[in-house]
Amino acid sequence: MDFNINKKLTFEDLVEIMRILRGDRGCPWDKEQTHESIKKYLVEETYEVLDAIDEKNMHKLCEELGDLLLQITFHARIAEEEGRFNINDVIREIIEKMVRRHPHVFGSASAQTPEQVLTKWEEIKDVETDKPRPILDVPKNFPALYRAQKLQQKAARVGFDWPDITGAWDKLKEELKELKDAETEGIGIKEELGDVLFAVVNLARFLGVDAEEALQDTNRKFIQRFSHIEEKAKLINVDIKELSLEEMDIFWNEAKTNKNKENI
């Protein structure tokens, strides 16, 4: 089946492509997919968008946003075939929501700071639901660190919080001691470790640091420094497994020094 990609393409063309792929003469793989079978791709594409942003690669960002948009179109097409909703319903819903939740822009309300906007946003969300939302209404599929941060933020909004950072530091010290005790006794280690991580996220919140982003930065730093060890092993023609821990530590510190010089 021919499709003219030389014309000026629009969003409607993407919707039509998906209709063709899911049609009788379409793609066998696309036709057999369901909301459940493709949900993992929605997550994957989202993280690839984030990678492109972190890399400041605008060409890649453009491409990855297209991949993400495809997943949205895919889900909308499946729903349309089931007679539930279509892509126009999706667009209408988000437009109505954005207008409704920005009364300080599209109405007579006032909000002078980002904090005031977020507070109003949550208030409007509460009004929109038929029944009261739980205070800790946070999606269970969020990454664990990110979810912990959101849970703590929501609890803090109703006053369940330390008055200052001292309480967060003390709680972390308490949880570390309980983890050490659990290790000694050999009981409850997993639970206590989870409590330590939760306390660290709480401390990050008081420090104004996004815990998820902080750990991602450290992951990248670890990869960069370990890659330096790999490269040094290749240069001296030695299998990395044959390096002693002391030798690895020397190369690790070289990577740290090189990075510090780059930042000068």
In a domain, 190, yes or no: yes
Q: Are 152 and 206 in contact (CB under 8 A)?
A: no
Q: Are residues 238 and 250 in the same domain?
A: yes
- The total number of structural domains in the chain stands at 4
User: The tokens of 234 are what?
Assistant: 């290749």
* 121 shares its domain with 195: no
* CATH code of the domain covering residue 62: 1.10.287.1080
Identify the pLDDT of residue 129.
78
Q: Is residue 134 part of a domain?
A: no
Residue 38 is part of which domain span? 11-98
Residue 20 lies in a domain: yes
Same domain, 155 and 220: no
CA–CA gap between residue 151 and residue 14 (Å, rounded): 37
Q: pLDDT for 39-91, tens place per residue?
A: 999 999 999 999 999 899 999 999 999 999 999 999 999 999 999 999 999 99
* Paired tokens of 186: 């050999």
- Residue 1 belongs to some domain of the structure: no
7 Cα distance to chain centroid: 36
For residue range 20-42, what is the model confidence (pLDDT) as tens digits?
999 999 999 999 999 999 999 99
pLDDT along the chain (264 residues), means of 10: 74 95 96 96 94 94 97 98 97 96 93 90 83 85 92 92 96 98 97 98 96 92 95 94 94 85 51
Name the nearest CA neighbour of 76 among 24, 15, 23, 11: 15
Claim to verify: residue 74 and residue 113 sit in the same structural domain: no
